[in-house]
Structure 1
Amino acid sequence: MGEVRKIAPVESARFVAHLPFTAADMSSALVFTRTLVRSLAFLDQLDGGEATVSFEDGQGNRERVFCDLLTETGRRCERRAGHPGSCLPRDGRHS
């Protein structure tokens, strides 16, 4: 009973957590998701740049939350998807 069993290391796999929430419209849903992702940015396991939002009954039609394109510096853009102008890398400097 006092035996400690070691768990064999497993290769990491990517998963998607589906977390339903309510919002007045798609714009509000995108703001909520941006806020949620940014509040969890300290988690290395989270790939916030890949966040998408959909209507509950239309999960096949997703809206990207962040641009996430590579900038000239090689970093990912942290601005909203479809933003005007140049991309802004995650270190806060304009490319």
Structure 2
Amino acid sequence: MDFEPWEDGVAFEIAADARLPDDPGTVPGYLAALETGLREELAAVGAARGVRVAVAVVVRGIRIHEVDSRDRSFREAGRVAVRNAVHRLYGPPPRPKRKA
């Protein structure tokens, strides 16, 4: 997954050369869950930093396990991907100060 600059808002797209499973019946639901997680976390990051988020998210591939994959897992994966991208861009979040 890549995060690229965008004019305004959040764009979610799948790369033309994306590696997707052969089973077309399950992919749209998991992609929708992934997009939901991405959008939720991007909104939270924007609100926390007081900025409008402008980014294009390009999915390069996903893997689905026929037994263990769940919508919730893909939603959380989207949230974690945003956190990792923000961490790379801005560094780790500030740590809470200990009480003396």
Which bracket does the TM-score occupy, shorter chain normalised?
under 0.3
Query: Highest relative contact order (Cα 8 Å, sep 6+), 1 or 2?
Result: 2
Q: Choose between structure 1 and 2: higher helix proportion.
A: 2
Q: Choose between structure 1 and 2: higher strand proportion.
A: 2
The two structures have a TM-score, normalised by structure 2, of 0.26
